[in-house]
Amino acid sequence: MTRVLIVDDHPIVLQGCRRVLQDAGVCEVVEAGDAISGYRLFRRARPDVIIVDLSLQGNRLSGLDLIHRMRVHDPRVPILVLSMYSDPYIVSRSLDTGATGYVLKEAGPRDFLDAFQTVRCGKPYLNHDIAIQVAMLGSRRSEGALAELSPRELQTLTLLAEGKPYREIASDLNISYKTVANSCSQLKVKLGARNLPELIRIAVQQLATDSQALLKPKRTP
């Protein structure tokens, strides 16, 4: 009997995953709506496979932190990330942290089940398109942390470094509060920040370093 732990704060996602897995013959599914509860269930239920969302509500423990803690306790349990983010940097960070596979929430039931069955056997899983993007990312990492950010993310990071709150950033960029919050969640993953204060500290440091590099006079041959 395979016991599966699903950690996701969206009830509809939990229900959909449970239905797909149970229809496929997985006998037991346990669920958690946040990372803290997920870690407690992980220690208590001893699941055979874990499915984790990266964007978990609350500041105490993110999806990546949860994966890291699980890996420290059990380096062998298969962990499948189920996420809305297709950014290759986020995928790469997830794999580096300890995820066995990565599948998008927009994937159909067949693809989700294929990902689950693959990691259950202890094999890594990425779909073809994401695997190519992650491979290409490796050749660009030497360009620095800020090189991977979009123009909107750089704008958001700059305003964070200036000490502006989400609502003021939303007003300055003429976008919604939710868009700013989602962008900052992605920035935390990309820059390795555990919480908002750490993201702001990294923003100040990175932008200062980047500015100094631009202002530094270049040597003439």
Q: pLDDT (tens digit, 9 = 90+) per residue, 184-199?
A: 888 888 887 878 878 8
Residue 1 is predicted with a pLDDT of 76
74 and 19 within one domain = yes
* pLDDT for residue 134 is more than 80: no
Last residue of one domain, picked from the residues 138, 165, 188: 138
Task: Report pLDDT digits (tens) over 80-110.
Answer: 999 988 888 888 888 888 999 999 999 999 9
117 and 8 within one domain = yes
Q: Which domain holds residue 134?
A: 3-138
Domain count, the chain: 2
pLDDT-based confidence at residue 5 (cuts at 50, 70, 90): very high
Question: 74: domain CATH number?
Answer: 3.40.50.2300
Q: Are 13 and 58 in contact (CB under 8 A)?
A: no
Last residue of one domain, picked from the residues 83, 106, 138: 138
89 and 158 within one domain = no
156 and 87 within one domain = no
* pLDDT for residue 216 is more than 50: no
106 and 207 within one domain = no
In which residue are the tokens 């200036």 written? Answer: 162
Rounded average pLDDT over 20-48: 91
Tokens standing for residue 158: 């700059």
pLDDT-based confidence at residue 210 (cuts at 50, 70, 90): low
Residue 189 is predicted with a pLDDT of 82
CA 48 – CA 42 distance, rounded (Å): 10
Tokens standing for residue 97: 């942290």
Of 85, 141, 112, 104, the residue nearest 19 (C-alpha) = 112
90 and 183 within one domain = no
Half-sphere CA count of 53, side-chain side, radius 13 A: 24
CA 63 – CA 83 distance, rounded (Å): 10
In a domain, 220, yes or no: no
Task: Report pLDDT digits (tens) over 106-124.
Answer: 999 999 999 999 999 989 9
Q: Are 127 and 101 in contact (CB under 8 A)?
A: no
Tokens standing for residue 60: 């105490």
In which residue are the tokens 């204060």 written? Answer: 197
